[in-house]
Chain A
């Protein structure tokens, strides 16, 4: 397969199209503007449709409409835009329609900055909107991994009839790496939509029953039953979707936990520590929700400290602490505001944490 050098954001857009996204709705926001720009001239070539939405609020609801109609919809934004989309994400979980959502995140709160951040971890993994719900959250660390994730995210979304999120950051959106693009899937025909998504809104046609997609359930017992139904689904996701990898020596005194961009820096910090004679390993959650608990249950007895390395004031660390469950001290190494720490800074701070615990 031919390798091509692609900018993250353009690769994300191309991946979504090849994964079968026929419909993209977006609103400009840095650092992901290349995605709507790319979609605006490429999507129609595949027979799909692009709308520059009037807001992220409209974009997410357009995606809901397209998905409700049986289409494969893709939306992307960056942190403040994702905040606006929460209404729609909660709604789509309630109604059970599949879409793929990409957050090329930046520093916050508020408008914040345009440099990379990971402070949307809680928003993504806890459900940033109202009510009890979850979306599977995938955190790629390379552009190639993001491409593969975005493509397979459609299968996950369709299988569970639930939105799926890919959480990248501004650094990944702007950098370039060689990638291999998967073959493009064909968009579903009207007949295929009616066959494969019998619940979708396609017009009643010769169907015996009309289809209704609803969120409102005024009777408490009916709503409770629906929430229970959703959570049976989330339970299945927790069993079926968890993904992580480990890096370095997992019998080390220092075990890092990092995702996305930070995991790449930590990988280099581990090499720097090795040069100083300090062994370290890393758990890299690939799904942030469901969170991989297993590697924490399997922590080596020689591990003295687990370090959550993140571009936030300590969000990932909540899941890390819950998973470590008090067996080992947990420490935080972080920078915020869009500042990415150097691999040397991470190594120095990790070494200090280890020394303090000695």
Chain B
């Protein structure tokens, strides 16, 4: 079993953090994992994206030709990357910022009101955590317990006070 995931959005939306948290949770579950950020011009252009592969066996290539799951946080990312989703794959879109919908009928579209729900929670910065929960709920690539464990290792020290809010955000779409 191998899940190829591609996360895309703009800088500041917590794209890389989402990818890293999935990768860490998968590693915690004993799975093989690679995390590949885009670096260079893509980042300078204000867009951020990363590739995460989660697998039960050794991962040879950390780059992907197509994605089983595409997570898009803004509209330009949907338009740009929709084509890379494998037939039968899934696109998870942030409907708070994306009006368009995928133009393909061979992929499943999961709609997440990430920013909207984040505002309801009282902190729009948790939009990526709401999205993270939706990814876990809709794909099962990792378990919520693993995500909880990883959050506890990430939000430590000065950041520990943000843990309860983030734990709550992750459960919005659970």
Contact = CB atoms under 8 A, between A and B. Distances in A.
Contact of A264 (B37, B62, B65): B62
Interface in B1-58: 20, 23-24, 27, 32-37, 39-40
Nearest to A178: B27
6 closest A-B pairs by CB: A267-B60, A176-B35, A268-B61, A178-B27, A175-B36, A264-B61
Contact of A174 (B27, B36, B60, B65): B36
Contacts of B24: 5
B36 A113 contact: no
Main SS class of interface, B? mixed
Contacts of A171: 36, 62
A252 B108 CA distance: 40
Given A5-B23, A175-B34, A31 B61 contact: no
Contact of A5 (B35, B39, B40, B63): B35
Contact of A176 (B23, B61, B63, B65): B23
Contacts of A342: 63, 65
Contacts, number: 55
A31 B33 contact: no
Nearest to A263: B60
Interface centre among A31, A268, A340, A344 (most CB of B within 10 A): A268
Contacts of B20: 5, 176
A168 to B, nearest CB: 13
Contacts of B36: 171, 174-176
Interface in B97-122: none
A265 interface: yes
Given A115-B40, A176-B20, A265 B63 contact: yes
A342 B62 CA distance: 11
Interface string A97-119: 00000000000000001110000
A358 to B, nearest CB: 26
Contacts of A264: 60-62
A5 B27 contact: yes
Given A174-B36, A176-B34, A177-B33, 14 more contacts: A3-B27, A5-B27, A31-B39, A171-B62, A174-B37, A175-B34, A175-B35, A175-B37, A177-B35, A267-B60, A268-B60, A271-B60, A340-B63, A342-B65
Nearest to A114: B40
Contacts of A114: 39-40
Interface centre among B24, B37, B40, B65 (most CB of A within 10 A): B40
